[in-house]
Amino acid sequence: MNHDMLEIRDLSLSIPVSGEHVLAVSGVSLALKSGKVLALVGESGCGKSLTAQSLLRLGEFQGVDKETGDILLGGQSLFDISSEELRKIRGGVISMIFQEPMTALNPVFTIGSQILEVIHLHTDLNKKAAHQRALTLLADVGLQDGETLMKQYPDSLSGGMRQRILIAMAMAGEPEFIIADEPTTALDVSVQKRIIALLRGLQREKGMGMLLVTHDFGLVAEMADEVAVMYAGEIVEQASVMDIFDNPSHPYTQALMNCRPETARDTPRTYSDSRQCAKPR
């Protein structure tokens, strides 16, 4: 079944700090549409990851102790479905690519066993077909010689290769929505560009809806259709990419955009590495 929309409605999340509830995300509403990229931008600590992870109902692992609002997949609330249904949705309908490609892979298992595990979770392919599927997924993310790669351990691979493998794993269940939380922050600039091109290609080819969490306006210009700007736990501005670049209305958005290098400001559809300049505080 295909879902046209994944929505966050009026979401508030608290985390415990010194015995008190602290509101980390406050009244956030966002809609992810099939085939479109929504960028969620904002400085470090403003609540982007908590918001993104709420889409997979991962709050409890993050230490969230109070959650109000709703998450709707094709109109159905993910707040009142069984944990079994939720398991199927995770990776099968909504996949997440995490910030840290180093920690998301288990160092004691081979790449092959980790990919096969995800394939078996989401398909009922037999052993041989699953192996074939793993090779196809690796080729799809630009990794050659999958047979050799599958026998290797994460330690022996570069950060870029590890992130490609995590993307392959995220694709294994043919998700309709992909949540990419700063997917290139931990990588070298040249590798970042290739990973972004890969993600953009996959998103378009498969028509997935995507939430791209970033603090990089160059990346937003490159990839997104819509932008939501987050500041201190709230969405302060939301608009199409063109409108945001033409006319950023919130002072915080203006500050974020002013941090971009000139080239990116003049030609908003080219990639630039805006992470080099200081983040506004």
Asked if 103 touches ligand ADP (CB under 6 A), the answer is no
Closer to ligand ADP at the Cβ: 46 or 172? 46
Closer to ligand ADP at the Cβ: 26 or 62? 62
Q: Are strands 94-97 and 5-17 parallel, antiparallel or unpaired?
A: unpaired
Q: Where along the sequence are the contacts to Mg ion (CB under 5 A)?
A: 49
Amino acid at 33: K
Span of 30-38, 40-48, 101-109, 246-254 interacting with ligand ADP by CB under 6 A: 40-48
Q: Which of 28, 41, 50, 227 binds ligand ADP (CB under 6 A)?
A: 50
Decide: residue 117, CB within 10 A, 0-12 exposed, 13-18 middle, 19+ buried. Answer: middle
As measured in angstroms, the least distance from the Cβ of 83 to ligand ADP is 21
Judged by CB under 6 A, the chain residues 10 through 29 that form the site for ligand ADP are 15, 24
Q: Which does 15 bind (CB under 5 to 8 A by kind): Mg ion, ligand ADP, none?
A: ligand ADP
Asked if 62 touches ligand ADP (CB under 6 A), the answer is yes
Residue 31's SS3 state is strand
Asked if 238 touches ligand ADP (CB under 6 A), the answer is no
Q: What is the DSSP string of 102-135?
A: TTSS-TTS-HHHHHHHHHHHH----HHHHHHHHH
Closer to Mg ion at the Cβ: 67 or 182? 182
CA nearest to 174, candidates 98, 104, 119, 131: 119
DSSP type of residue 172: T
* Site pattern 69..88 for ligand ADP (x: CB under 6 A): --------------------
As measured in angstroms, the least distance from the Cβ of 265 to ligand ADP is 24
Asked if 45 touches ligand ADP (CB under 6 A), the answer is yes
Structure tokens at 171: 């694709």
CA nearest to 115, candidates 99, 135, 98, 129: 135
As measured in angstroms, the least distance from the Cβ of 62 to ligand ADP is 5
As measured in angstroms, the least distance from the Cβ of 8 to ligand ADP is 13
Phi-psi region of 45 (alpha: psi -120 to 50; beta: other; left: phi over 0): left
Asked if 59 touches ligand ADP (CB under 6 A), the answer is no
Span of 48-56, 73-81, 102-110, 154-162 interacting with ligand ADP by CB under 6 A: 48-56
Report CA dihedral (54, 58, 62, 64) to the nearest 10 degrees.
60
End-to-end alpha-carbon separation of the chain, Å? Answer: 44
Neighbour count for residue 29 (Cβ, 10 Å) = 14
Q: Which of 14, 47, 138, 229 binds ligand ADP (CB under 6 A)?
A: 47
Asked if 132 touches ligand ADP (CB under 6 A), the answer is no
Structure tokens at 150: 């599958």
Contact positions toward ligand ADP, by CB under 6 A?
15, 24, 42, 44-50, 62-63
